[in-house]
Structure 1
Amino acid sequence: MGSRRAVEVGACIVIILSLVGKVSAFIASIPVVMVAALLCYMWAMLAALGLSNLRYSEAGSSRNIIIVGLSLFFALSIPAYFQQYGISPNSNVLVPSYYQTYTVASHGPFRTPNPGVNYVMNTLLSMNMFVAFVVAIILDNTVPGSKQERGVYVWSEAEAARREPAVTKDYELPFRVGKFFRWVKWVGL
């Protein structure tokens, strides 16, 4: 499913259903094994979708291989280091992996005199997606490369971008809002 409309409608339905107690009870009764299977599928699709964003860039370029490799490496190693601070070794509490970010926030290795900064930085640096995003953004904008290597040649000419249906669909505004903002570049193509 690649339509933004489906995500928007699904989000509205989930928000409405979250207000119904019986639905919450039903979701809580789903076995952990089923939830784990759904999460495996969801994360595989999310990874494939993220990598499909590289479709316009040169996949064989050593610049792009290094950027993707380092982003994935740091996204796995830095949060693993931060997540080991989640629970004290003397504690008998078993915290599910999806709560580790919250336990790291108050006990993580990032320590300054400001507790708010500590909380935010420990939380962000214990999330894989955030670390991958920051490393990829920094490397992509600092390592030199041509427009073809970076994949931005598609957007360099407005006419070429208008002819490319994938680009037009990816960057249109939801619910036909683009027709009211035709004066803005890239809106209402």
Structure 2
Amino acid sequence: MRCPYCGTDNSRVLESRPSDDGLATRRRRECLNGACQKRFTTFERIEQRPFMVIKKDMKRDVFDRDKLFRGLQKACEKRPISADDLDELVDAIEVRLRSEFEREVPSSEVGERVMEALRSVDGVAYVRFASVYREFRDVETFAHEVLSLLGKKEVRSGSSQNHESTTDE
């Protein structure tokens, strides 16, 4: 395996373990170049037939794990979510999509799975992704999404006034 730091094609495996529900093997490696000796991670995956994403304009693109990771990374920027956690999210989303769809998946389904995953991990990342994915056109729609995240059932408009009831005795 070629070292991503120095390009030497001589490395050794330090640790191997199953990943992605047994569909991949994660390997920690160390470069054997005396000047480098950095560690890096590789994944060995089962080669699967291409999984296609059907875009809004009906064009088809090959499912791209890296693109999904970058989208999650952007939503989680400056949030306390590690790269390993993002990898696990990508794995879980891909496994779920492949189990629900045989060869093709609408991009809307990919977006919904990302929304579900982010909603359970980090509210701020969820709202960031939702604001782009759902293309909020106004503040009210954005506020409704935030309130739904907080568990509110309806959005109340207007000012909140304190109404007291009086009783005559």
Q: What's the TM-score, normalizing by structure 2?
A: 0.26
Greater share of helix: 1
Higher RCO (Cα < 8 Å, 6 or more apart):
1
Larger CA Rg, structure 1 vs 2? 2
Q: What's the TM-score, normalizing by structure 1?
A: 0.24
